[in-house]
Structure 1
Amino acid sequence: MRTVDREHYAGLLRLAYLVLDDGDAPLMRARRAAVRATRVRDGGYPAMRARLVATLLTEPPAGRHRWHRLFFEPVPTPKGSVRAALRELSPHERLAYLLRRDGLTAPEAAAEMGVHLRADFRDVDRATDAVDDRTGLDEAAQQAEIEAFEPDLVRLRAPLAVPRAWRAAVAAVLWVVVLAVAGFVLIPPDEESGGPTAVDPRAWQRTGMPTINEWPAQGELRDDAGLLRRAADAWRADRRDPPHGGVIVLYAGRVDGASLVVLHDSPGLRETPSVAQYFERRLSRGVESVRRLGSGSGQLIMLGLTWRYLVPPWLRDVRAAVPSGRSPDWVPVAVKDGVTDPLHWRWFAPRCQNYVVFRMTFRPATGGWPRTVTQLASNDPRSAAPRVWFRDPPERDERFGWAALHAVACQGAATLSESGDLRLARLWSGELPEGGGRATLLTVDASSPWGAPGRSILISDDGRALSERGGTNSDFTSSAGTVAAAVWWRSRRRWHLVAAAGPDVVRLKTVGELGNHAMGRGRGTSLLVVRGPRAGGPHPETARLPVVQVVAYETDGDRTVVDPS
């Protein structure tokens, strides 16, 4: 390492340590991150700091390293110091503050972090204000304290009261450990050996919302270093879908006579991870499927074409049902070491997009009420496996919930193969004109691609589609009160424009070839039904429909436009 790099290394190490301060082996992890950052030769210190930020925000949680505490004590933390204030913040908030104190403006610090997670200058300002309040120091005093902090200053613990004959052995062990730590810092094992890393088995128990980043390795072969190395190397050599970032093992075991390794990568917080499945059979070996997840939440993963699914440890009481039935016929599914028994359903013709509905129970290890988790999973390991949510307030109508799932899987309300997680809502229920019967206007929002407008469809009480898909002004995260949707519905004699909106929309109005029609809010929901052209002719389905749009006026004065086609 050159002299200039040594100077940069000290600052990078200080920044990394203060971010990782309350974790396991923070000095070891900070050294590794700083060493990786100094490998950037072009761009000087700003480029090295950008590499360090990427490592801190994308590297998976480290496992427990309790042995180092036998010999070392951390640097003491004075009360009221900057370091003590930082330990009361989350790692992301610490990083935002430290980038600000490293000479960046709030927008520049947000941009540096924004490559890997959603952040803006207000997040940086909030973190900076929090440290100011907790320390009572001005910026210059805080900067001086940070620059004076040397994380390499650790103290050896006092020697144990043991006979003199044992002291030589203890000293020898100490030197072996020190040399091992030095080698670990200079040559990170996950980069040289090619093997994937593993998540701390207890990481998911320390959070109320575990994701794939807290999913521990499962399976009886998870300690087979040779198998894991071959699997990781095979994925890295894949020219079509190689991993991005670090490779983490989810499962390694024997499934139906084959050795199987399931891995995922770490592309950063702005991208969702990919999952790869590596098989070793008697006459073949290699990566057989790679799928990018719709979201980073823990979800079921089909193992090859085995009709078995990998289940994260925080989901229990697994049940499954085929969505084609009029009502759910839940079948309990046994799970052993994270893998389900094979499902007994088989089909080869397209039916309900070849998806099965799973219902599970999530009991947070950190406390709280258990929650029901619903997921749609395919018989194709390369297809998406979206989780299904219902908009606030939670839908407690089991009949509607199953009708909505049936419409999504079997009636074309959503295309599941490339879908992200889905959020469903009943926007309106009532009687259609001209004897059309009772119907529900269902909205379907997907989490991927981010911010994409939702879709809507009219369904019957048993989930049959009564219209083609229509448009909404919503997306996965928008407020349920401001959602507006419009569809074209055809009775026996004519077309009708059916539009509805949530309680925060006070007025709906049509513009276009149908003329101006308006309807205000009634009983909590704005509803507008406008008669369209007659549905005569030999092919009424393909008849030209009027060009029309629906304008939704919200209580705060905002307006949005919805296209029913």
Structure 2
Amino acid sequence: MADAVEAEPVEVDDAEAALVEHYPRLVRIAYVTLPAALGRHRRVLLAHRLAQRALPRTRRPVTGAAEGEDPAYALVRGEVLRGALAYGKRQAGWRRWGRNALVAAPLPPQVIGLRLFPRTGDLDDLDLDRALSELDAPARAAYALRAVEGLDEERTAALLAAAGVAGPRKAVHDASTAARTVDFRTLADSEFDPCVVHARPTDLMRRRQHARAGAAIAAAATVAAALLGVPGDGGGSGFGAAGPLGPQQAALNRMLNPASVVRADAGAWTRTSRLDFASWPARGDRTDDRGLLQRALDVWARPGSAVRVSATPGTAQTPPVTAPQLLFAGDVDGAGVVLLYDGLRLVRYAEPADGGGAPVLDFARVDGASAANASAVVVARSTDGNARYLTAPWIDRTQLRNLLKPDAAPRPLKRSSDGVTDPVPVPAGDGSCGTADSSWTAMQFTPSANAPDQQPFLLTDLAELIPAHLTHAAGPGARQGEADDAQALGDWAHAACRLAADRGQGVRTVGNWQFADQRLPDDAGTANWLCTRADSWSGADHVSVQFVPPGTAPGTPATIAAHGRSTAACGPMAPGVLSGVLWKSPTGHWYLVAAGSPEVGSITAGGLGGASDGHTLVVPARPTSHPELSGRLPDGSTLAALT
């Protein structure tokens, strides 16, 4: 790319035209450069604010525009970069307060009563989001410039230097290193587009309850500000983790008093008609630690910029609208941990016991959780790949299973008197399988004899606060039950490693359905067909059809035949499913083998001239064949194949 050249001063009208024309690019650059600790809602608003504030008030000279580049665009891009980079610098005292005040200031754009966040992406988007969160602000800016603007390393370094970055070449190097694991092109996805956002309500009940008191609170806050001067950012937290108080937060703080926290008694679960988190008692060795509880409540109500916040996709990160219920408060693996429940969400607050480091705030959506989904919560994760869980009071026995070894007996999993488990190995994120020491850990819980259902069930960790419930079905209808028999464990031995794709996706339940078995030609034996359906807390779903050839060893992943999203296939509403694969027999011949669920009456393979009466089909084929499958249902309608 050409070197930067001096350009004529830019008129305000020209800068405005450039800003309007390239607004989405500028906002995306700001959004990616801003720290993830701000939270997605505040990053969206701040990215738009930085782009809008980039418009100069008067005619301005510009330096750093490349030859042939629009000087007006170079000017506003530079302003956006400088503004976003400022939020990645460590600041203290009045500068830190001033920065926090700018984030919260009622400047445009304003959004009242809504939380805005970009669309949640796929696994590649999540990997990139994690990779960016580990970079500093200059490196994130370099990544944004290279991905959004398509600049080379030299030009990127020059722009960073012009924006005041002390080590521009190091920033470019760090960004390029990150790009080796996550492609630059991933940044074009909607996950990183703050101009395409979802909107969710924040505090409907609280706004209704306090509408009449709003004016009085605002007046009181104004008087207090005048009397007290500049507020600090500690908010009563020993870590200074809570953000600055606003009028609404002041009213909320009076409600979020540790003395007001709800506590269920130890026997509440035995008297309820529904087993869920509402019947969990408060446990742990610090349930009476008012200071810890106050810090947890303060940070939940207004997390400061230092707090590391995470949330299950689709979970509101808003303050509680009523006094929450305390589930746990205690020390676990060197951290003070508090678990709170507000009827819709679980919130985990953790602070380092030694007072160093940043607090963590995790949100998980749990509305409608039933007994199995409300049986365990992560209380701590360690750097050695283990996690500890707090188990429900109705769980009588806890064990561990390796899903890749279905014939192996479960191992005991010990718990403390408070219900906290010993460390449990977290399944590998890459889902690697096929070796002798491969494993996928699942917890097998057996409910108490006093519980409505005493059948053991399986849970597995998918990088969320709440482990996913694993179920199984066989025969017509995809009616899911617990995965506690030999057939269920055998099917999960082939499907478990595919669970790696569901990590961090907010998955609530994953069900396997063995919907068909099929005799294969050339005396090859019998194959099984599985449909695996993952349902999330947000209502999203996806399915995969898996083909298990005869002789496949336990623990060997099945072959993926098809995928589908936002579909009723393999579910209780419309379980019908159809798919096929090209398969090479032991004798070297190629076939199209297809199968449908039991309600499929016939299958047609367009392009191969094959058809069958029944819900399985075998047709000779070539390895390059592209048949079009369709099935006929008893009512005469057509079932399209998943591909």
TM-score by length of 1: 0.55
Matched, 1:377 2:548: no
Matched, 1:520 2:613: yes
Q: What residue is the counterpart of 1:510 in the other structure?
A: 605
The answer to whether the Cα contact below 8 Å between 2:346 and 2:366 also exists between their aligned partners in 1 is no
Q: What residue is the counterpart of 2:526 in the other structure?
A: 438
Residue 444 of structure 1: how far off its partner (Å)? 0.6
Shift of the 344–503 alpha-carbon distance from structure 1 to 2, 3 Å rule, reads: closer
Residues 364-403 of structure 1 correspond to what in structure 2 (within 5 A)?
A: 365=450, 368-377=452-461, 380=463, 382=464, 385-391=467-473, 392=479, 394=481, 398-403=485-490
Shift of the 545–200 alpha-carbon distance from structure 1 to 2, 3 Å rule, reads: farther
The answer to whether the Cα contact below 8 Å between 1:243 and 1:274 also exists between their aligned partners in 2 is no
Residue 318 of structure 1: how far off its partner (Å)? 0.5
Q: What residue is the counterpart of 1:551 in the other structure?
A: 630
Residue 360 of structure 1: how far off its partner (Å)? 0.9
Q: Deviations over 1:155-187 (max 9, x none)?
A: xxxxxxxxxxxxxxxxxxxxxxxxxxxxxxxx9
Query: 2:634, 2:294 → 1: CA distance?
Result: 59
Amino acid at match of 1:399: A
Query: Unaligned regions of 5+ residues in structure 1, if any?
Result: 1-32, 43-186, 268-272, 535-543
Matched, 1:200 2:281: no
Shift of the 326–507 alpha-carbon distance from structure 1 to 2, 3 Å rule, reads: same
Q: What residue is the counterpart of 1:408 in the other structure?
A: 495
Shift of the 232–345 alpha-carbon distance from structure 1 to 2, 3 Å rule, reads: closer
Amino acid at match of 2:460: L
Query: 1:253, 1:40 → 2: CA distance?
Result: 37
Q: What residue is the counterpart of 1:454 in the other structure?
A: 543
Residues 150-229 of structure 1 correspond to what in structure 2 (within 5 A)?
A: 191-193=255-257, 197-201=261-265, 202-229=267-294
Match of 1:254 among 331, 335, 341: 331
Q: Deviations over 1:495-529 (max 9, x none)?
A: 54433233333233334x444x33233xxxx2223
Match of 1:292 among 329, 344, 364: 364
Residue 561 of structure 1: how far off its partner (Å)? 1.5
Q: Deviations over 1:118-146 (max 9, x none)?
A: xxxxxxxxxxxxxxxxxxxxxxxxxxxxx
Shift of the 461–318 alpha-carbon distance from structure 1 to 2, 3 Å rule, reads: same
Residue 39 of structure 1: how far off its partner (Å)? 2.7
Residue 290 of structure 1: how far off its partner (Å)? 1.9
The answer to whether the Cα contact below 8 Å between 1:487 and 1:498 also exists between their aligned partners in 2 is yes
Residue 446 of structure 1: how far off its partner (Å)? 1.2
Shift of the 498–339 alpha-carbon distance from structure 1 to 2, 3 Å rule, reads: same
Query: 1:290, 1:476 → 2: CA distance?
Result: 32
The 3-state SS of whatever aligns with 1:560 is: strand
Q: What residue is the counterpart of 2:377 in the other structure?
A: 301
The 3-state SS of whatever aligns with 2:560 is: coil
Query: 2:361, 2:394 → 1: CA distance?
Result: 25
Residue 463 of structure 1: how far off its partner (Å)? 4.5
What percent of counterpart residues are identical?
20
The answer to whether the Cα contact below 8 Å between 1:195 and 1:229 also exists between their aligned partners in 2 is no
Q: Deviations over 1:371-408 (max 9, x none)?
A: 22111125x5x476210112337578833222222223
Query: 2:355, 2:285 → 1: CA distance?
Result: 22
Q: What residue is the counterpart of 1:361 in the other structure?
A: 446
Query: 2:571, 2:452 → 1: CA distance?
Result: 24
Shift of the 342–292 alpha-carbon distance from structure 1 to 2, 3 Å rule, reads: same
Q: Deviations over 1:48-73 (max 9, x none)?
A: xxxxxxxxxxxxxxxxxxxxxxxxxx
Shift of the 299–500 alpha-carbon distance from structure 1 to 2, 3 Å rule, reads: farther
What number of residue pairs does the alignment pair up? 363
The answer to whether the Cα contact below 8 Å between 2:592 and 2:621 also exists between their aligned partners in 1 is yes
Q: What residue is the counterpart of 1:314 in the other structure?
A: 394
Shift of the 438–195 alpha-carbon distance from structure 1 to 2, 3 Å rule, reads: farther
Query: 1:456, 1:411 → 2: CA distance?
Result: 11
The answer to whether the Cα contact below 8 Å between 1:467 and 1:489 also exists between their aligned partners in 2 is no
Residue 298 of structure 1: how far off its partner (Å)? 0.6
Farther off after superposition, 424-433 or 299-308: 299-308
Shift of the 37–348 alpha-carbon distance from structure 1 to 2, 3 Å rule, reads: closer
Residue 356 of structure 1: how far off its partner (Å)? 1.5
Amino acid at match of 2:630: V
Q: What residue is the counterpart of 1:486 in the other structure?
A: 579
Match of 1:499 among 589, 594, 600: 594
The answer to whether the Cα contact below 8 Å between 1:452 and 1:475 also exists between their aligned partners in 2 is no
The answer to whether the Cα contact below 8 Å between 2:301 and 2:320 also exists between their aligned partners in 1 is no
The 3-state SS of whatever aligns with 2:351 is: strand
The 3-state SS of whatever aligns with 1:334 is: coil
Query: 1:388, 1:559 → 2: CA distance?
Result: 31
The 3-state SS of whatever aligns with 1:387 is: strand
Q: Deviations over 1:230-263 (max 9, x none)?
A: 1121233336553453444321112234322123
Shift of the 370–474 alpha-carbon distance from structure 1 to 2, 3 Å rule, reads: same
Residue 340 of structure 1: how far off its partner (Å)? 0.9
Match of 2:423 among 333, 342, 359: 342
Q: What residue is the counterpart of 2:182 in the other structure?
A: none
Q: What residue is the counterpart of 2:620 in the other structure?
A: 531
Shift of the 368–385 alpha-carbon distance from structure 1 to 2, 3 Å rule, reads: closer
Residue 455 of structure 1: how far off its partner (Å)? 1.4
Match of 2:320 among 245, 253, 259: 245
The 3-state SS of whatever aligns with 2:512 is: strand
Q: Deviations over 1:193-249 (max 9, x none)?
A: 377733523443334542234333221212222211111212333365534534443
Q: What residue is the counterpart of 2:407 in the other structure?
A: 327
Residue 476 of structure 1: how far off its partner (Å)? 6.4
The answer to whether the Cα contact below 8 Å between 1:422 and 1:447 also exists between their aligned partners in 2 is yes
Shift of the 233–194 alpha-carbon distance from structure 1 to 2, 3 Å rule, reads: farther
Q: What residue is the counterpart of 1:40 in the other structure?
A: 211
Query: 2:333, 2:300 → 1: CA distance?
Result: 22
Shift of the 355–275 alpha-carbon distance from structure 1 to 2, 3 Å rule, reads: farther
Query: 2:279, 2:512 → 1: CA distance?
Result: 27
Residue 453 of structure 1: how far off its partner (Å)? 4.5
Q: Deviations over 1:438-467 (max 9, x none)?
A: 321111111125363521101236252342
Q: Deviations over 1:294-315 (max 9, x none)?
A: 7733142333224321111122
Shift of the 371–399 alpha-carbon distance from structure 1 to 2, 3 Å rule, reads: closer
Query: 1:339, 1:545 → 2: CA distance?
Result: 54
Query: 2:440, 2:465 → 1: CA distance?
Result: 10
Q: Deviations over 1:3-45 (max 9, x none)?
A: xxxxxxxxxxxxxxxxxxxxxxxxxxxxxx9997453369xxx
Query: 2:580, 2:522 → 1: CA distance?
Result: 17
- The Cα RMSD (Å) is 3.8
Query: 1:217, 1:223 → 2: CA distance?
Result: 10
Shift of the 319–412 alpha-carbon distance from structure 1 to 2, 3 Å rule, reads: closer
Query: 2:427, 2:480 → 1: CA distance?
Result: 36
Query: 2:641, 2:428 → 1: CA distance?
Result: 38
Query: 1:351, 1:294 → 2: CA distance?
Result: 30
The answer to whether the Cα contact below 8 Å between 1:234 and 1:286 also exists between their aligned partners in 2 is no
Query: 2:572, 2:508 → 1: CA distance?
Result: 16
Amino acid at match of 2:639: T
The answer to whether the Cα contact below 8 Å between 1:508 and 1:527 also exists between their aligned partners in 2 is yes
